[in-house]
Chains A and B, each alone.
Chain A
Amino acid sequence: MAESKELQAKGKVEVPVSAEQTKPGPVFTPNVDIFETEKEIIMLADIPGVKTESLVIDLRDDTLTFTGEVKPTGRPDTEDILIEYQVGSYYRQFTLAEMIDQKKIDAALNNGVLRLTLPKVEKAMPRQITVKAG
Chain B
Amino acid sequence: MIIKRLFDLPNYGWRTAFDDLERMRREMDSLFGQVAGKAYWPAHAGVFPLVNIAEDQDHFFIRSEIPGMQTEDITISATGRKLSISGERKIASEGENVRYHRREREDGKFSRVIALPSDIQVDKIEAGYIDGILSIKIPKSEAAKPKQITVK
Q: What 0/1 pattern do residues 54 to 74 of A give for CB contact below 8 A with B?
A: 000000000000000000011
Q: Evaluate contact between B132 and A78: CB separation under 8 angstroms.
A: no
Question: A75 contacts which of B61, B108, B117 (Cβ < 8 Å)?
Answer: B61
Number of A-B contacts (CB under 8 A): 149
Q: A11-B41, A36-B99, A48-B131 in contact; A75/B54 too (CB < 8 A)?
A: yes
B152 at the interface (CB under 8 A from A): no
B72 at the interface (CB under 8 A from A): no
Q: Evaluate contact between A4 and B107: CB separation under 8 angstroms.
A: yes
Q: A48-B65, A112-B132 in contact; A78/B98 too (CB < 8 A)?
A: no
Interface centre among B52, B56, B70 (most CB of A within 10 A): B52
Q: A7-B106, A32-B102 in contact; A78/B54 too (CB < 8 A)?
A: yes
Cα(A9)–Cα(B98), bound, Å: 28
Cα(A26)–Cα(B99), bound, Å: 33
User: Which of A81-89, A99-107, A125-133 lies at the binding interface?
Assistant: A81-89
Q: How far is the CB of B26 from chain A (nearest CB, A)?
A: 9
Interfacial chain A residues near B52, Cβ < 8 Å: 80, 82-85, 87
Q: For chain B, residues 54 to 75, give those with C-beta under 8 angstroms from any C-beta of chain A.
A: 54-56, 60-61, 63, 65-70
Q: Evaluate contact between A49 and B132: CB separation under 8 angstroms.
A: yes
Cα(A85)–Cα(B49), bound, Å: 10
Cα(A51)–Cα(B15), bound, Å: 34
Q: Number of residues in A with C-beta < 8 Å to the partner?
A: 45
Interfacial chain B residues near A12, Cβ < 8 Å: 41
Q: Evaluate contact between B98 and A36: CB separation under 8 angstroms.
A: yes
Q: Evaluate contact between B68 and A111: CB separation under 8 angstroms.
A: yes
Look across to chain A and name the residue whose beta carbon is closest to the beta carbon of B15: A81
A20 at the interface (CB under 8 A from B): no
Between-chain CB contacts (< 8 Å), 10 pairs = A14-B39, A33-B91, A33-B105, A35-B94, A44-B105, A51-B131, A73-B63, A75-B56, A81-B53, A113-B68
Additional pairs, 16, CB under 8 Å, beyond known A5-B107, A84-B51, A85-B52: A5-B109, A8-B106, A14-B39, A32-B102, A34-B100, A48-B131, A75-B61, A78-B61, A80-B53, A82-B6, A82-B53, A84-B45, A84-B52, A86-B41, A111-B132, A112-B66
| Chain B residues within 8 Å of A, Cβ to Cβ | 2-3, 6, 14-15, 39, 41-42, 44-56, 60-61, 63, 65-70, 88-89, 91, 94-95, 97-110, 117, 129, 131-133
